[in-house]
Amino acid sequence: MDWRQILVLLLIFVPLERLFPARSEQKMLRAHAFTDTVYLLVNSWVIRLLALALILPFLDFIDARAPRGVQDFVGGLPFAVQLPLAILVADLGFYLHHRLFHAVPALWRLHAVHHSIEELDWLAAHRIHPLDQLFSTGMSALPLYALGFSAEVMAAHALIFFLHSHLVHANTRLGFGPLDWLIASPRFHHWHHANAEDAHDRNFGGQLLIWDRLFGTLNLPADLPSHYGIDDPMPSTYPRQLAWPFLSQTRKQSA
Ligand SMILES: [Zn+2]
Ligand SMILES: [Zn+2]
């Protein structure tokens, strides 16, 4: 990841977690902070390489088959209309990707790396297996590309998603107040990470609660979970965590 992006994240989220913590006893240098820092520094480059090999070829495929009329219509909409529409469409892709990665055992092993976090904070947002991240980005961004959203809207969406994904993992009790019913808050995503039987396989949305409401997977208690993580033991280093989904036979989360 670019050092300027890291600087922006530090400037936003370190003070936020200090001033408005969800768990004030949690230390900044918590367990596995070093491993998650390796993710922060290395993972995005691994994902970019994978994207060049696996996502780029799809763009030609989409270009050859995309509905031109729809693209012209969507691309001609004003920025202020395109952006919320893009968030809605991308979040449906994210929801479907996420639900699939919880439902299919082989995919769950990749996604379990992200769920192995036991102390949530902004840095924890980076602990994602590159293949998991690649598919989630593909499922949210490729529909936007296929439907003809403008480059400015796609860039704005990527920036908002980048900041939002750190916020929902942050160790903060802040949320969106009266908009918590619509926009994914830290409380919403923290419940997704809860290690509690009745919280498993809920809250799949990345930015919105709309798709979880529609598909009956919303779980939003007023308090925060007491425990996060998974029951399966996860190795502690970056290379071992990347290899783990292919080497281990894990239990399904909800089993
Ligand atoms: Zn998940
Ligand atoms: Zn998460």
**pLDDT recorded at residue 53:** 87
Instruction: Tell how far the Cα of 252 is from the centroid of ligand 1, in angstroms.
Output: 12
Instruction: Tell how far the Cα of 192 is from the centroid of ligand 1, in angstroms.
Output: 6
Tokens of 156: 């704005």
Instruction: Tell how far the Cα of 3 is from the centroid of ligand 1, in angstroms.
Output: 28
Instruction: Among 45-59, 77-91, 101-115, name the one with the lowest average pLDDT.
Output: 45-59
Q: Which ligand minimizes its atom distance to the CA of 186?
A: 2
Instruction: Tell how far the Cα of 236 is from the centroid of ligand 1, in angstroms.
Output: 19
**pLDDT recorded at residue 249:** 67
Q: What is the average pLDDT across 190-209?
A: 95
pLDDT for residue 6 is more than 90: yes
pLDDT for residue 254 is more than 50: no
What is the rounded CA–CA span in Å between residue 175 and residue 209?
A: 13
**pLDDT recorded at residue 250:** 59
**pLDDT recorded at residue 255:** 39
Q: What is the average pLDDT across 21-42?
A: 91
Q: What is the average pLDDT across 24-41?
A: 90
Instruction: Tell how far the Cα of 56 is from the centroid of ligand 2, in angstroms.
Output: 26
Tokens of 84: 């919320």
Instruction: Tell how far the Cα of 173 is from the centroid of ligand 1, in angstroms.
Output: 20
**pLDDT recorded at residue 253:** 54
Instruction: Tell how far the Cα of 21 is from the centroid of ligand 1, in angstroms.
Output: 23
Task: Name the percent of the chain lying above pLDDT 90.
Answer: 81
Give the model's confidence band at 209: pLDDT under 50 very low, under 70 low, under 90 confident, else very high: very high
**pTM score:** 0.93
Name all contacts of 159-162 with Cβ < 8 Å and 24+ positions apart. Answer: 160/87, 160/207, 161/90, 161/206, 161/207, 162/5
CA 184 to chain centre: 11
| pLDDT tens column, 52-85 | 888 888 888 888 888 899 999 999 999 999 999 9
Name all contacts of 32-39 with Cβ < 8 Å and 24+ positions apart. Answer: 32/117, 32/118, 32/119, 32/236, 33/123, 35/127, 35/236, 35/237, 35/238, 35/241, 36/117, 36/123, 36/124, 36/126, 36/127, 37/123, 38/237, 38/238, 39/126, 39/127, 39/128, 39/238
Instruction: Tell how far the Cα of 193 is from the centroid of ligand 2, in angstroms.
Output: 6
